[in-house]
């Protein structure tokens, strides 16, 4: 969204909790697994709300320092996890002493009034330095290749590498991922924070990913995609694309922060999100965060792309659409959280709909005043941590319904569009340290997330869903297990089974969220799996060994089987790969 289009009125509230708005932790980082399990185990209320992702580094370190005061309650592996957090975000170790707002008012005074956060951080007991840096310049600390700490300024630069290579059964071309780049993060005066990364990518994925690309001319998580060839690796039709995330965050008051960024967001506590996921490509956004007492209120105003730049070869201006999202998260108790969600997707000729800039009003009221031309979703989410081992979480999304058709006389009306998720996490399962299990179920009715204007108002970004990868018209069960027997070694297992319906020829049976709802087939009798019924079963095993801080050697086994009522759509995929990662999470195509 073009920033010049905004005219914002900021309402500042008073409260009890100071706000830290820093650079964000990429969702692929193991920091999410670490902080999630420690929140469940400790029972301590976190200064961030776990359903609102991505986490900012300052809030994560603040919570880790709280947990560190109770070290006697944690295992040796838990303490090693905390050490990873301190190393990876060491610029924030001194925040509790010197954090200030944009107005310059010191939130918590310290003994040395001239001390700034970078200087306080390097004096902190948890700050680690390498005994000897490379060429007396590189890697002065375990986590950062280049690190600068100066009164009023800090700077970090790190490489990004993800190389994976493997053999796909019964395929002439290999499984191949080659990502190289760098990330930069910096802070000025403890008030303004900058983050950016840049990645050059070449990849060759299995056939089911290629089928999706051929259908939409869009690759999940990517924008403009070019053809990639490599004679040495025998790749003739791979993918070549650039990825870049970035943003600037501001501490505008102790309880209010803002970000202007280009990237993705995620709302929820599950492996999937039925509200807002990071499956699709980046978008430019303005994000407002209000943290007051037990409340976290987030606004996201974004500009989306309705079409695929790959279809036009990258030389045509793509059709735009916009979204405005609210999410109110409430910590009812330290272990109990509820959230309210609403979003609207709309299109206007070259401008944002300014009535949606109101950060607190219900969008349904605005949409009605405009004549209801836009696609609005409402939702509810929640989580409950209990027994120091479990987390129960859920989501419910309502797209459209009529009470009579849904509750009084249900007949499978096509416009009863809703989705729900239920999940359970079990940490230190069966008393085994760092054996974590997760169970999740996702159900989405046909035609959910779609709209009458298939391009301008569907809940998509570059023709990929903004919620679940399967779109709509499906049921899904997920089982995940993660075991870490020693600090450096991690086993990740996942089993995903989905039952869904695909379209027949030119008929719209409700699974493809890019198709117009005006083309639905039946008014009544609609049910999940209608159309061409199919099932997929996906099994994945990842083994990762950490060679040094955030440097991993990987092994991956992957098996996906699709069985359809139309035998011509049956498909089997299997591959084994080995790889190497630096400061990056795993790239998965789990659908």
Which tokens in the block code for residue 419? 């989705």
**Lookup result for tokens 């695929």:** 308
Closest CA relative to residue 67, chosen from 49, 54, 51, 80: 80
DSSP string, 102-122: TT--BSS--SSTT--HHHHHH
Angstrom distances, CA of residue 319 to CA of 456, 458, 514: 8, 13, 14
pLDDT tens digits, 47-59 = 999 999 999 999 9
On the question of pLDDT at 16 being above 60, the answer is no
Q: Is the omega angle on the peptide bond into residue 54 within 30 degrees of 0, that is, cis? A: yes
pLDDT of residue 112: 52
**Can you tell me the distance from the alpha carbon of 86 to that of 35, in angstroms, rounded to the nearest whole number?**
12
| Beta pairing partners, 564 | 534
Q: How confident is the model at residue 409 (pLDDT cuts 50, 70, 90)?
A: confident
Name the residue with higher pLDDT: 262 or 5: 262
Phi, psi of 172 (to 5 degrees): -75, -25
Encode 10-44: b = buried (16+ Cβ within 10 Å), e = exposed.
Answer: eeeeeeeebbbbbbbbbbbbbbbbbbbbbbbbbeb
3-state secondary structure 7-34: CCCCCCCCCCCCCCCCCECCCCCCHHHH
Encode 522-545: b = buried (16+ Cβ within 10 Å), e = exposed.
Answer: eeeebebbbbbbbbbebebbbbbe
4: CB partners within 8 A, 6+ apart: none
On the question of pLDDT at 113 being above 70, the answer is no
pLDDT of residue 410: 82
Which tokens in the block code for residue 113? 């009034």
pLDDT tens digits, 186-202 = 999 888 999 999 999 99
**Can you tell me the distance from the alpha carbon of 142 to that of 149, in angstroms, rounded to the nearest whole number?**
15
- pTM of the entire structure? 0.92
pLDDT of residue 356: 83
Q: How confident is the model at residue 429 (pLDDT cuts 50, 70, 90)?
A: very high
On the question of pLDDT at 285 being above 90, the answer is yes
pLDDT tens digits, 455-486 = 788 999 999 999 999 999 999 999 999 999 99
The mean pLDDT of 355-361, rounded to a whole number, is 77
């Amino acid at each position: 969204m073009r920033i010049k289009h905004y005219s914002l009125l900021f309402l500042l509230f008073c409260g009890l909790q100071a706000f830290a708005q820093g650079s964000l932790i990429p969702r692929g980082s193991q920091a999410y697994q670490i902080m999630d399990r420690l929140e469940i185990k400790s029972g301590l209320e976190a200064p961030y709300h776990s359903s609102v992702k991505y986490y900012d580094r300052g809030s994560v370190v603040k919570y880790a320092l709280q947990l560190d005061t109770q070290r006697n309650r944690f295992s040796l592996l838990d303490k090693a996890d905390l050490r990873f957090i301190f190393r990876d975000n060491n610029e924030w170790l001194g925040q509790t002493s010197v954090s200030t707002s944009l107005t310059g008012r010191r939130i918590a005074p310290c003994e040395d009034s001239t001390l700034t956060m970078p200087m306080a951080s390097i004096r902190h007991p948890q700050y680690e330095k390498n005994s000897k840096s490379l060429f007396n310049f590189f890697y002065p600390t375990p986590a950062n290749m280049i690190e600068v700490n100066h009164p009023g300024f800090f700077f970090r630069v790190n490489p990004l590498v993800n190389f994976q290579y493997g053999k796909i059964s019964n395929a002439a071309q290999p499984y191949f991922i080659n990502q190289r780049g760098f990330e930069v993060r910096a802070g000025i005066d403890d008030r303004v924070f900058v983050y950016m990364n840049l990645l050059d990518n070449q990849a060759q994925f299995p056939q089911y990913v290629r089928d999706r690309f051929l259908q939409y001319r869009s690759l999940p998580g990517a924008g403009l995609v070019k053809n990639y060839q490599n004679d040495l690796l025998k790749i003739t039709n791979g993918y070549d694309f650039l990825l870049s995330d970035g943003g600037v965050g501001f501490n505008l008051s102790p309880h209010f922060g803002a970000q202007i960024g280009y990237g993705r967001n995620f709302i929820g506590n599950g492996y999937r999100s039925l509200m807002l996921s990071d499956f699709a490509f980046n978008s430019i956004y303005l994000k407002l965060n209000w943290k007051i007492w037990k409340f976290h209120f987030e606004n996201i105003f974004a500009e989306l792309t309705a079409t695929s730049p790959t279809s036009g070869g990258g030389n045509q201006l793509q059709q735009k659409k916009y979204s405005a999202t609210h999410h109110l998260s409430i910590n009812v108790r330290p272990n109990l959280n509820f959230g309210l969600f609403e979003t609207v997707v709309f299109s206007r000729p070259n401008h944002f709909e300014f009535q949606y800039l109101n950060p607190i009003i219900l969008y349904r009221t605005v949409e009605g005043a405009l004549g209801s031309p836009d696609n609005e979703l409402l939702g509810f989410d929640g989580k409950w941590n209990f027994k120091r081992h479990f987390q129960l979480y859920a989501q419910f999304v309502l797209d459209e319904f009529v009470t009579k058709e849904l509750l009084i006389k249900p007949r499978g009306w096509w416009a009863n569009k809703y989705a729900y998720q239920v999940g359970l996490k079990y940490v230190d399962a069966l008393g085994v340290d760092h054996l974590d299990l997760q169970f999740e179920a996702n159900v989405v009715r046909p035609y959910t997330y779609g709209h009458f204007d298939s391009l301008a108002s569907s809940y998509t970004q570059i023709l990929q869903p903004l919620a679940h990868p399967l779109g709509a018209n499906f049921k899904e069960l997920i089982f995940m297990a993660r075991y870490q027997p020693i600090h450096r070694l991690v086993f990740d297992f996942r089993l995903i089974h989905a039952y869904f319906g695909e379209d027949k020829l030119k008929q719209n049976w409700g699974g493809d969220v890019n198709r117009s709802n005006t083309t639905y087939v039946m008014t009544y009798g609609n049910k999940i799996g209608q159309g061409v019924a199919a099932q997929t079963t996906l099994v994945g095993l990842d083994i990762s060994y950490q060679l040094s801080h955030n440097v991993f050697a990987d092994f991956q086994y992957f098996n996906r089987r699709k069985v359809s009522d139309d035998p011509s759509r049956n498909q089997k995929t299997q591959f084994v790969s080995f790889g190497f990662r630096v400061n990056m999470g795993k790239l998965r195509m789990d659908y």
